[in-house]
Amino acid sequence: MAIVEDQLVEVKWNGNNKARFESLGYKFTKIGDPFLVNYNHLTRYSKLKIKLVCDYCNSLFKRTVTSWNSTKSKSEISGIEHKDACKTCYEKRWRDLNDYDEPEIFDEAEEDLIKVKYTKEKLINYYNKFVQEYGYHPNKNQMDATKGYPSATAFTSKFGTWRKFLVEIGIADSNGNYYEDLTVIEKFYPICKRLSEINSKLISPKSIKEIEKMVIHIGLELRDFYTKRDYSEVMAISKVEAFKAALIDLESDIGKCPTTGEMEKYCSLNKVTARRNIEDYLGMSYAEICMDTIGSENKTTKSKKVLLEELIELKEKLGRVPQSNELKLYGLSEHKAYRRKFNMSYNELIISLGWEQSPYIVETKSKERLLSEFKTLCETLGRVPNHEDLSKCSYTSNTTTYKKHFGSMDKVWDIVGVDFEANQDMSAGIVSKNKNNEVCRSTQELIISNLLIENNLMYVPEQQYSSLLDGSKNRWKMDWYLSDEGIVVEYFGLFDDRKLKINNRVGKYSRKVMKKLKFCKENSIKIIDLYPNDLRDNYKGLKEKFHAHGILIS
């Protein structure tokens, strides 16, 4: 063998290997500590690398234990002596495993003599030989994969297509159905209990629709195998009724027609059939279901007048014509809404209004000017600006520009002289302080907390859920607790119901959100759960959710 004997491999202590290596005589120190073990003590599927000597060029190289064991097993199965090969010699090892000989070199005359030329008769004989040897009729892929037989290409080159070949040798009809299969269907279809009984007897398994086509072709009457159809119909109706009941309950809870997102979260939390399945079953849109069930639908369409008023207001605020990609940033409807309402593109609308369509030129600023503008905005706001403040301010650049010039916002704060602890980049946003001088870990938290302060709502930040329940050991913390109203307010910025089953950061976060909502429902805790969409269109969603609890946000 080409493995380097008595070699030691570095391993780190962890919870999975502790018991095993202790039983082999290794002394445990602490989790995470490295230690050396003999390569023989590694498991068969270890991904640690061991040293090997190439059997072809004698050079040293490394390979994982699991990869080495895999190649060794393949050699044993093939009955060939196991050899290790480095990357340079890998082709030589492949030749040994596949018993490959270098092709002889012939001149053109000799080469013509050794070329195999298949006639139709030879191909038919090969096909019959395959059926006798293996006991079944091959398809194209099976013929390609079997050594010692012509490829499917040889058949198609002589007969045109694989189906034409089957028809010409007399084992299939013009539709490609084997005559034997048609005989099986004619015999067993009228008496079988399930279609699977027929499929197990066919040369080529078929789908239900394909079998039904063959039945019609033969001239038999189609049978109804779905004996449980009535039961399924009852089940479907009960699921629709459960969905409609959930829709009525949610509409009553939030005081308005739920959006599709709100309904999907509610269905997932309460184990109700998904909205799209109900839409498919009824053949109705969600809006139509809402109108039929609660007499209203969730529409936020704006009139032409409102769209133009908002656009003119933004133009006056910016001192220029807004670009299409800026509309959403400033809380307006997207440019698609203008296209749908005015039946023209956003740029065509600008021209029709007689506005000058000049491109917005980005001004290059020095570092000194960037810092000066940032400091001015700090003094104006009386706090550290967040990235939304910087974007909306007419004279400052956005956070991307500051990070490009200074590396991070930390450095900007240090240079300007911002002095408060916890100034750091966070995974969910930028740390800043609200009007009560409290640290907020994202721009969205800053916006929400400032809205609570501006509307004179008394709240306690970061309070534990256990404080609301006697004897509870729950360690979860809420974002805000409205003490006078007895309502929990949470902002779930990363929630994505499409990733609930995915085991990544967003998936884990989303599952925790669902657990929190379920916990609140089971313990009758009032909660206002907010999401990024609730902060759009001048905080429309946020205001509606607070209003449903009798709280007006201005």
| Phi, psi (degrees; rounded to nearest 5) at 117 | -115, 115
Residue boundaries of the structural domains of the chain: 8-97, 114-218, 229-294, 304-352, 376-547
pTM over 0.85: no
For 542, the token pair is 């946020």
Average pLDDT (434-448) is: 79
Alpha carbons 275 and 298: distance in angstroms, whole number:
15
Tens-place pLDDT, residues 110-128: 344 344 578 888 889 888 8
Q: How confident is the model at residue 487 (pLDDT cuts 50, 70, 90)?
A: very high
| Phi, psi (degrees; rounded to nearest 5) at 459 | -140, 160
* Whole-number pLDDT of residue 292: 85
Highest mean pLDDT among 32-36, 362-366, 407-411: 32-36
Query: 470, 438, 434: which is closest to 451 by C-alpha?
Result: 434
**For strand 487-491 and strand 527-530, is the pairing parallel, antiparallel, or unpaired?**
parallel
Average pLDDT, the chain: 79
Average pLDDT (37-43) is: 87
SS3 299: coil
SS3 430: strand
DSSP-H helix ranges across 55-139:
65-78, 90-97, 108-114, 120-134
Per DSSP, the residues of 326-363 read GTTTTTPPPHHHHHHHHSS-HHHHHHHTT------PPP
For 413, the token pair is 């704060």
Within 13 Å of residue 193, how many CA atoms lie on the same side as its CB?
0
Tens-place pLDDT, residues 156-212: 888 888 888 988 888 888 888 888 888 888 888 888 877 777 877 888 777 777 888
* Whole-number pLDDT of residue 75: 73
DSSP letter at 534?
A: G
